Amino acid sequence: MPTNLNTHPKPLLFGELGDLSYAKVSSVEFKHGKGTQIFGQAEPANYIYQVIEGAVLSHKRLSDGRRQIGAFHLPGDIFGLGNGDFHRFTAEAIVDTTVRLVKRQSLERVARTDPAMARSLLTMTTDNLQHVENHMLLLGRKTSRERVAAFLLEMNGRLTAAGVMALPMSRRDIADYLGLTLETVSRALSAFQRKGYLRFLDPTQRHIVVLNASGLAKLDR
Amino acid sequence: MPTNLNTHPKPLLFGELGDLSYAKVSSVEFKHGKGTQIFGQAEPANYIYQVIEGAVLSHKRLSDGRRQIGAFHLPGDIFGLGNGDFHRFTAEAIVDTTVRLVKRQSLERVARTDPAMARSLLTMTTDNLQHVENHMLLLGRKTSRERVAAFLLEMNGRLTAAGVMALPMSRRDIADYLGLTLETVSRALSAFQRKGYLRFLDPTQRHIVVLNASGLAKLDR
DNA sequence: CGATGACTTGAACGCCATCAATCGCTGTGG
DNA sequence: CCACAGCGATTGATGGCGTTCAAGTCATCG
């Protein structure tokens, strides 16, 4: 549901593709409203995306609705990559989000002759793989407290500004990322607050200050 | 613990690298005894590997010993790839195994100038990623029966000969792959046998005939 | 205000883990 | 050749962690 659009004549993927900003690929910006789908599982993968502002989640579903979120994408992150011809996840905007998109074909065209681009695509895919591998250990073997602690540490590093972590996602989203229920996530967060590991700043409980990161790290490992 | 070795002057990665067998990379074969380590987590990743004969598992551990197996590698499979400079898994031979190994640097050297090699590395990494992403859904959201059914279907496709699936790995290995305990795996297998979905052929219970694959598929989804 | 949605908290349940006993096969040594 | 130790697997009994069901609070928005 693009609501706005803004073409750029030149180079423009940041982050991992920053080094390649000279590359002859063009990009377009789109805005997606909160809760809207950016692409669906099994759809043709014509573009790859970069979050400019906002937040995105990628998930898979079982036929009865159970959901597993594979990753949260925050500003600077690239997603929709490493797909073959079809997306293997569904991507949704968690909040109003601006993404930049690049035609997959144009990247591949460049990569066919430019080993630096090919290398960059490989690096991004490998980073992706690394994250997912670590998440597999979490999902397969960690306890609920360990999972929530790991989540907090991950997000604390990724979206803390001025000491405050402003979570864009709901408890349900967190739960579906961690392979838990939202109640279990809520209980773990409350327990951490009681232990003095963190503090909620607002009544909606999405602004958190981590007071004892090493305590959380010990709970994780 | 290489016990034998056999150099090849020419090309030699099969499977995904089959197309590139002309590439100027040399390979060496090693044998690893059952249960021995091929490489360890956080070791420098000097080689990538291909299973010639036998079976290998890749795993991560938590500090207290809990283990998550990320993949089983069967003949033809390539592993130890997509690492940066260090391995992110420990790899062990499940049974006596012959692997072919290729210097990572030599592949990267070729990839720097040969986009086909770069593309091939990317394809292998992406295939890897796809497997791990599906496994994440299994670990995060499937029930024990669904997990074991999915495992049987995966292995049935990969290592069945003459209708018989000969599992090289123990119940504990299966459990650590599926995020369960060995007892739960054993109970699920027994239940499937009672339902007539499969049959054990030998007293060690590692030779299995799947009698009703679609029944298992329904249990999975 | 009343409705709705996000979050927390409590109570009870259930799936899977844990603990434990047993069986069968393998290999080893007396 | 047999006794026995060791390992892998199955099966049973019990328990606990996380889920499920449910109630209640608070904020937002019509």
Mean predicted confidence (pLDDT) in B145-164: 95
User: Residue B78: its pLDDT value, please?
Assistant: 96
User: Residue B207: its pLDDT value, please?
Assistant: 96
* Portion 60-89 of B in contact with A at CB < 8 A: 60, 62-64, 66-68, 70, 82-84, 88-89
Other beta carbons within 10 Å of A193: 15
SS3 B37: strand
Q: Alpha-carbon distance A25 to A101, whole Å?
A: 10
> How are strands ordered across the β-sheet holding B90-93?
B37-39, B90-93, B56-61, B67-73
Kindly list the distances between the CA atom of residue A163 and the CA atoms of A77, A152, B217, in Å, as whole numbers in the listed order.
Answer: 21, 13, 48
Mean predicted confidence (pLDDT) in B8-28: 53
User: Residue B206: its pLDDT value, please?
Assistant: 96
Helix A115-141 vs helix B104-113: angle between axes, to the nearest 10 degrees? 140
Return the closest nucleotide (C1') to the Cα of B169.
D8
In tens, the pLDDT along B52-109 reads 999 999 999 999 999 999 999 999 999 998 767 899 999 999 999 999 999 999 998 9
Nearest chain A alpha carbon to B111:
A115
Using CB atoms, which residue from A126, A137, A176 is nearest to B125?
A126
Q: Which residues of B touch A82 (CB under 8 A)?
A: 125-126, 129
User: Residue A24: its pLDDT value, please?
Assistant: 62
- Residue A116, min C-alpha distance to chain B (Å): 8
pLDDT mean by block of 10 residues, chain A; 221 residues:
40 45 74 96 95 97 97 97 88 97 92 90 94 98 98 94 94 98 98 97 94 96 79
Return the closest-CA partner of residue A206 out of A221, A186, A181. A186
Percentage with pLDDT > 90 across chain B: 78
Burial A158-177 (b: 16+ CB within 10 A, else e): ebeeeeebebbbebebbbbb
Helix B144-159 vs helix B115-141: angle between axes, to the nearest 10 degrees? 150
Positions of E strands within chain B? 5-8, 27-32, 37-39, 47-53, 56-61, 67-73, 78-79, 90-93, 97-103, 160-161, 164-166, 198-200, 207-210
Nearest chain B alpha carbon to A136:
B136
- Residue A125, min C-alpha distance to chain B (Å): 7
Q: Alpha-carbon distance B48 to B117, whole Å?
A: 14
User: Residue B161: its pLDDT value, please?
Assistant: 85
Other beta carbons within 10 Å of A115: 17
All protein residues with a CB under 7 A from any atom of strand D? A 143-145, 179-181, 183-184, 187, 203-204; B 170-172, 182-183, 185-187, 189-190, 200, 204-206
Q: Which residues of A touch B83 (CB under 8 A)?
A: 126
B194 in A contact zone (CB under 8 Å): no
User: Residue A84: its pLDDT value, please?
Assistant: 78
Strand partners, B60: B68
The answer to whether B39 touches B87, Cβ cutoff 8 Å, is yes
DSSP 8-class letter at A94: S
Identify residue A2 by its one-letter amino acid code.
P
Return the closest-CA partner of residue B140 out of A43, A19, A70. A70
Residues sharing a CB contact under 8 Å with residue A205, sequence separation 6 or more, in sequence order: A189
How sure is the predictor about B17, in pLDDT bands with cuts at 50, 70 and 90? low
Using CB atoms, which residue from B66, B136, B179 is nearest to A132?
B136
Burial A26-49 (b: 16+ CB within 10 A, else e): ebbbbbbeeeeebbeeeeebebbb
Tokens representing A143 are 């306890």
Q: Which residues of B touch A63 (CB under 8 A)?
A: 221
The answer to whether B47 touches B83, Cβ cutoff 8 Å, is no
Residue listed under structure tokens 């369960």: B180
The answer to whether B148 touches B158, Cβ cutoff 8 Å, is no
Percentage with pLDDT > 70 across chain B: 89
Q: Alpha-carbon distance A187 to A202, whole Å?
A: 17
**Can you give the distance from the CA of residue B205 to the C1' of nucleotide D9 in angstroms?**
8
Residue listed under structure tokens 């190994």: B101
Kindly list the distances between the CA atom of residue A9 and the CA atoms of A47, A159, B80, B189, in Å, as whole numbers in the listed order.
Answer: 17, 30, 40, 59
Q: Alpha-carbon distance B194 to B212, whole Å?
A: 12
Kindly list the distances between the CA atom of residue A2 and the CA atoms of A59, A71, A93, A96, A97, in Å, as whole numbers in the listed order.
Answer: 20, 22, 11, 11, 10
Q: Which residues of B touch A66 (CB under 8 A)?
A: 141-142
Phi, psi of A153 (to 5 degrees): -65, -40
Using CB atoms, which residue from B63, B122, B130 is nearest to A122?
B122
Q: Which residues of B touch A84 (CB under 8 A)?
A: 126, 130
Residue listed under structure tokens 């033809």: B76
